[in-house]
Structure 1
Amino acid sequence: MFYTYVLKSTKNGKRYIGQTSKDVSHRLNEHNIGSNAWTRINGPFFIVHFEEYPSRTEAIKREHFLKSGQGRKWLDEKFPPKAGQPLADIILG
């Protein structure tokens, strides 16, 4: 299986959109330990959304859509900026 995923920074609210063949929680951990420069600077992250696909081609296609203007609009409508906060943030206010 392949996944397209959306992460959100707890530091500045920026989104990271990617695709992987790994378990999404494993990939989140890689981002949070700074596996690439952008996530090292903007992390830590939490998972906002992910989707499963049978092929890498389909996962990449969806990743490209989510990075487009229409895709960003879809994400903003489905997951408003304050939506998807980590549970601890909601409980602690």
Structure 2
Amino acid sequence: MKYFVYILYSENYKKTYVGFTNNLERRLKEHNAGRSKYTKRYSPWRLVYSEEFQNEIEARLKEKYFKSAAGRRKIKKLLLNICPGSSAG
């Protein structure tokens, strides 16, 4: 089974969210439908990054990296390229 690590961005609130799933399309719909406690406050969400992995362990490790200080810095750089003028936090 394939897994995906993804980064969502809320234009309205300048927020990011990092997660992992085995069904990226379904998960994005869930976030935008308000089925996630944190993300429902900041919708709508836009998918700005995803990466595919062959197993859950690799996906969880990458998710953990993106939630670290170094990973957050990388996300900021990524967002500056994708959404100029963003100050995501």
Give the Cα separation in 2 of the matches to 1:33 and 1:84: 23
Question: How many residue pairs align between the two structures?
Answer: 83
For residues 25-61 of structure 1, the C-alpha deviation after alignment (integer angstroms, 9 at most, x for no partner) is: 2211110001112111111100010000000000000
Give the Cα separation in 2 of the matches to 1:26 and 1:58: 21
Structure with max Cα Rg: 1
Amino acid at match of 1:18: G
Identity score, percent: 30
TM-score (ref. length: structure 2): 0.85
Q: Which secondary structure state, in structure 1, belongs to the residue aligned with residue 13 of structure 2?
A: coil
1:9 matched to 2:10? The reply is yes
Give the Cα separation in 2 of the matches to 1:59 and 1:45: 21
TM-score (ref. length: structure 1): 0.82
1:70 matched to 2:70? The reply is yes
Q: What is the alpha-carbon root mean square deviation over aligned residues? A: 1.5
Q: Which runs of 4+ in 1 moved over 6 A?
A: none
The Cα of 1:10 is off from its aligned counterpart by 2.5
Amino acid at match of 2:27: R
In structure 1, the gaps of 5 or more residues are 86-93
Aligned pairs for 1:48-59 (under 5 A) are 48-59=48-59
CA contact 1:48–1:84 (8 Å) conserved in 2? no
